[in-house]
């Protein structure tokens, strides 16, 4: 549905109405009378962002896990760029390490929040993978960067009781911190663990694809600092953008496709264990 941003009606509107009836059930009918004139409002073109028209863009993110070296510069950059609490429990983006040892059936997974890795980094707020498997017989190992999938059908937006989180016309899922009541229902609803409750602002927080950067023609901070181009970002409306080239040249997959969320972060080179 979102593939056609030029259509007049907001693409989510029809779906929202339908889900509204289903979700609200009979109570929805009772509340309709109290609902304001949502349908009657003339929808203005676009928000007042200087030099930017959200109708002309359709952002998407790619991850080439075969290139990731697990240096965690992206994690650090994200924390700095977005004032994310620096502890090991709040991340807008993170990197997972999958290691299968010879003779072991179960893949070992860790991320920068693992105590061993925090110790290797020296402190929370510094990010580094400990070289814990250097002497082991490793059959297979790889890194997988993770972030908010900015889903086409975001479960988090569906459950937000107040409309503090929403999907923009250009494809980002954003959070309005001034509306968030901090119930954390969206944190529960996200199957990817992308959301967290930011105690410093008492509101839910997550990746915005650095919306303040991409609307100024910059890359998200994590893409900016990735030294090996494992992270790819761009506009799908521009056929020459890195993401369009990436999607054209690779057979990609998404995380947990069965959830029906229809993620917009596309992966190359991940294994069956990754979800």
Partner 1 sequence: MDTLFHVAPFTGYVYPNETVIPWTVLIAIYPYLTGLVAGAFTMSSLYQVFGMQRFKPVAHFAMLTSLCCMLIVPLPLLLHLGQPMRALNPVITPHITSAFAIFGYAAGFYVILLLLENWFVFRPHIVAQAQQRTGPLGWFYRILTLGSYDLSDRAMRYDRKWIFALAIIGIPGAHGLHGYVGFVFGSLKSREWWSSDLMPPIFLFSAIISGVALLIVLYAISCRLRKIPIDLDCMKGMTYTLWGFMLFALLLEAVEFASLVYRGREGIEVILEYVSGPLIVPFWIIQIGVCSLVPVLWLTYMIWRGVGGNALIAGTVLSALLVLVGVLMMRWNVVIGGQEIAKTGKGLLTYHMPLFERESAVTAAVLLIAPFVLLAAAVRLFPPWDDTNGPH
Partner 2 sequence: MPNHIVRLLLVMAICAAVAYVGKQLLTVDSFYRFGHYRGNSVAEIASDKPKYATSKSCETCHKEIYAEWSKSVHYNPEQGKVVKCEVCHGASGSRDKNPNAYNSSTGKDHPKNLKLENPSDTVKLCTACHEQMPGRPREQKQIVVVTHTGNQQCKDCHDFHSPRKFVGTSTSKPGNAAAGKAISEDCVECHGKLGVSEDIEFPSIAGQPQTYLADAIKAYTKDLRRGNRMRKRAQDLSVTDSENLAAYYASLTCKSAKDGEPNAAIRGRALAGKCAGCHGEKGISDKLMWPSLAGLSKSYLEEALKSYKAERRKNGMMNIVARNLSDADGADLAAYYANLACR
Binding site for partner 2 (CB under 8 A): 10, 12-13, 16, 34, 36-38, 41, 43-44, 47-49, 52, 54, 66-73, 77, 80-81, 83, 97-99, 128-129, 131, 133-134, 136, 138, 141-143, 163-169, 174, 176-179, 200-201, 203, 208, 210-213, 215-216, 218, 221, 224-225, 227-229
Q: Which CB, 96 or 170, lies closer to partner 1?
A: 96
Least Cα distance to 93 among 258, 271, 226, 244 occurs for 226
Site membership for partner 1, residue 53 (CB under 8 A):
no
With CB cut-offs between 5 and 8 Å by kind, which of partner 1, partner 2, none does residue 211 bind? partner 2
Among 155, 245, 252, 254, binds partner 1 (CB under 8 A): 155
Cβ atoms of residues 89 and 217 within 8 Å: no
Distance of alpha carbon 263 from alpha carbon 259, whole angstroms: 9
Cβ atoms of residues 192 and 149 within 8 Å: yes
Distance of alpha carbon 103 from alpha carbon 180, whole angstroms: 48
Backbone angles phi, psi at 196, to 5 degrees: -145, 160
Q: Cβ neighbours of residue 26 under 8 Å, at least 6 residues apart?
A: none
With CB cut-offs between 5 and 8 Å by kind, which of partner 2, partner 1, none does residue 189 bind? partner 1
Site membership for partner 1, residue 132 (CB under 8 A):
no
E strand or H helix at 168: none
Count Cβ atoms below 10 Å from residue 95 Cβ, excluding itself: 26
Interface residue list for partner 1 (CB under 8 A)? 16, 19-20, 23-28, 30-31, 34-35, 87-91, 94, 96, 109-113, 146, 155, 158-164, 179-185, 187-197, 199-200, 202-204, 259-260, 275
């Amino acid at each position: 549905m979102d593939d056609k941003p030029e259509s007049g009606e907001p693409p989510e509107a029809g779906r929202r109405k339908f889900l509204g009836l289903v979700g609200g059930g009979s109570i929805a009918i009772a509340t309709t009378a109290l609902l304001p004139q949502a349908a009657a409002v003339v929808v203005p073109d676009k928000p007042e962002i200087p030099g930017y028209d959200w109708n002309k863009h359709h952002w998407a993110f790619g991850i080439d896990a075969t290139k990731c070296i697990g240096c965690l510069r992206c994690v650090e950059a994200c924390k700095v760029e977005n004032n994310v609490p620096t502890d090991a429990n709040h991340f807008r983006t993170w990197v997972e390490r999958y290691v299968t040892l010879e003779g072991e059936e179960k893949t070992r997974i860790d991320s920068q929040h693992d105590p061993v890795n925090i110790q290797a980094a020296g402190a929370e707020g510094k990010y580094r993978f400990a070289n814990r498997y250097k002497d082991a017989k490793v059959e297979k190992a790889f890194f997988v960067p993770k972030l908010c999938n900015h889903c086409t059908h975001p479960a988090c937006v569906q459950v937000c009781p107040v409309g503090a989180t929403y999907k923009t016309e250009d494809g980002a899922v954003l959070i309005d911190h001034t509306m968030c009541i901090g119930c954390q229902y969206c944190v529960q609803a996200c199957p990817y663990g992308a959301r967290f409750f930011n105690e410093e602002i008492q509101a839910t927080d997550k990746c915005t694809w650095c919306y303040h950067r991409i609307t100024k023609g910059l890359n998200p901070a994590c893409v900016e600092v990735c030294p090996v181009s494992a992270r790819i970002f761009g506009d799908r409306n521009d056929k020459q953008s890195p993401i369009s080239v990436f999607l054209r040249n690779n057979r990609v997959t998404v995380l947990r496709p069965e959830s029906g969320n229809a993620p917009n972060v596309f992966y190359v080179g991940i294994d069956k264990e990754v979800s």
